[in-house]
Amino acid sequence: MANLHRYIPMTEQDRTDMLSAIGAASIEELFRDIPEEIRYRGTLPVSPALDELSLLAHMKELAGRNAASDSYTSFLGAGIYDHHIPVVIQHLISRSEFYTAYTPYQPEISQGELQAIFEFQSYICELTGMAVANASMYDGVTALSEAGALAAGATKRKQLVISRTVHPEARQMFGTMARGLGLEIIEVGYANGVTDLDALQAAVSANTAAVLIQSPNFFGALEDLAAIEPIIHGVKGLLVVSTNPITMGLLKPPGRLGADIVVGDAQPLGIPQSLGGPTCGFFAVAEPLMRRMPGRIVGQTTDKDGKRGFVLTLQAREQHIRREKATSNICSNQALLALCASIYLSTMGKTGLRETAGLNLQKAHYASNEIARQQGITLPFSAPFFNEFVIQLPAGTSVKDINSKLLKDGFLGGYDLGLAYPELGGHMLIAVTEKRTKAEIDAFAGRLGELADDSDA
């Protein structure tokens, strides 16, 4: 009968037996080492114990309060995107050998998991144009921070230059990492939605370990990597590029534009939004840097009989080597979500990825043209963009109020840029993916125009 329960309830007898087994007279005795003065003696503001039917109904009601993209038309991006997820992905990752797999320390019983990771690494190398990729990172933000740490260690320099067009959360995480390692961060401003190249040139010096760029950047604009590359390589520093993997269906990969480290988030590759995470970061480097990569790498080899096999290799983390020689304390990888990305790429193929990237590009540009036609709305930046772009609402308009009204009409509006860029109050970041139809885009543009006109009046 236990299989009928979603969880196994604990009886009073179970509680008594467990306390007896550990030699405790009561639950209270388990906490005797916690000083009385810091214990919480009140009643937590939660509901009383519920039976299973009531609990399921309660949780369903709570979940129903979420404004998710399955019930709203989403034009919200800013790092997490509403892309199509092929149904085969959920079917395959739900297989127990993947769903329950843990760290593959024993290659002789982990060949399937190791092969899946190896294939993810191979896909990332093909996409980014880099020589070596690791088994994945926690997310794109973590990957960028680790790239900065790697650059500082490889060049023996303490200064890192990062553009303000990099995702604000990534820059925050980057700052936390830098403080811990005693690194200096210089932020460079933007012009027309992309990194100010004159300011970048002035900031870079012989003390600079790396320049960190995001392209497409947080504003959705494409950075001129070919112009940035000689600025940092001229002082023998490293170029770190964070990118959206979907764009590789159309654009020349950063590795072919001189990048030394390419990172990003694999969320667009078949990974659900899940209200913000978890996601999966990727990390790829040029060959001279491969022994400094964080995390783990799966390698291909042959056994004593000449059969192909897979093993963990080049693990430069503190669990495996002397701590003072470790390049990172990252101790895991997002194997299940990396598998999502691999299944997505194998399902879509080169043609599918190219078509998806093209749809993102075309639909976003169609949307930008339709929105720019609305009274009082302008496009403040003219730099080329992929599937996100910035709009400016009439002076004095509250993006928060506009989004609240859009929500009532069934739309998830764009990101309020004033939250992270005080100088961009009244600006909204709009994302348009392949899922958006012409009817949805037209309806959104029209309603946005009505609300902007009302606020202007």
Closest of 439, 451, 456 to residue 403, by C-alpha: 451
Closest of 221, 180, 203, 266 to residue 212, by C-alpha: 203
Are residues 444 and 368 in contact, defined by beta-carbon separation less than 8 angstroms? no
SS3 at position 338: helix
Determine the Cα–Cα distance for residues 64 and 71; give it in Å rounded to an integer: 10
Q: Which secondary structure element, helix H or strand E, spans residue 210, and what is its range?
A: strand 208-214
Residue 7 has a pLDDT of: 63
Residue 69 has a pLDDT of: 87
Closest of 346, 334, 247 to residue 282, by C-alpha: 334
SS3 at position 341: helix
Are residues 457 and 398 in contact, defined by beta-carbon separation less than 8 angstroms? no
Residue pointed to by tokens 């940092």: 232
> Which neighbouring-strand residues pair with 390?
429
Determine the Cα–Cα distance for residues 429 and 401; give it in Å rounded to an integer: 15
Determine the Cα–Cα distance for residues 298 and 345; give it in Å rounded to an integer: 19
The full set of domain ranges for the chain reads: 73-84+347-456, 90-344
Q: Which residues contact 264 (CB under 8 A, 6 or more apart)?
A: 140, 143, 242, 243, 244, 245, 281, 282
Are residues 151 and 261 in contact, defined by beta-carbon separation less than 8 angstroms? yes
Residue 48 has a pLDDT of: 83
Q: Output helix, strand, coil percentages for the chain, rounded to the nearest 5.
A: 45, 15, 40
Residue 2 has a pLDDT of: 41
Determine the Cα–Cα distance for residues 131 and 248; give it in Å rounded to an integer: 16
The dotted CATH code for 90-344 is 3.40.640.10
Locate all alpha helices (DSSP H) within 188-233, ordered by sequence: 197-203, 225-233
Q: Which residues contact 139 (CB under 8 A, 6 or more apart)?
A: 265, 277, 278, 279, 280, 281, 334
Beta-carbon neighbour count of residue 367 at 10 Å? 24
pLDDT per residue as tens, the chain (457 positions): 344 455 677 888 999 999 999 999 998 898 889 998 999 888 889 888 888 899 899 999 998 888 888 889 999 999 999 999 999 999 999 988 888 777 787 888 889 899 999 999 999 999 999 999 999 999 999 999 999 999 999 999 999 999 999 999 999 999 999 999 999 999 999 999 999 999 999 999 999 999 999 999 999 999 999 999 999 999 999 999 999 999 999 999 999 999 999 999 999 999 999 988 899 999 999 999 998 999 889 999 998 899 999 998 876 554 555 566 666 777 778 999 999 999 999 999 999 999 999 999 999 999 999 999 999 999 999 999 999 999 999 999 999 999 999 999 999 999 999 999 999 999 999 999 999 999 999 999 999 999 998 766 5
Q: What is the identity of the amino acid at 164? A: R
Are residues 388 and 431 in contact, defined by beta-carbon separation less than 8 angstroms? yes
**HSE of 429, CA atoms in CB hemisphere, 13 A:** 26
The dotted CATH code for 73-84+347-456 is 3.90.1150.10
Residue 322 has a pLDDT of: 59
Closest of 386, 133, 89, 90 to residue 281, by C-alpha: 133
For residue 376, give the DSSP letter.
T
Residue 97 has a pLDDT of: 83
Write out the two tokens for 234: 């001229």
Write out the two tokens for 180: 């811990």
User: What's the pTM value of the predicted model, to 2 decimals?
Assistant: 0.89
Q: What is the identity of the amino acid at 30? A: L
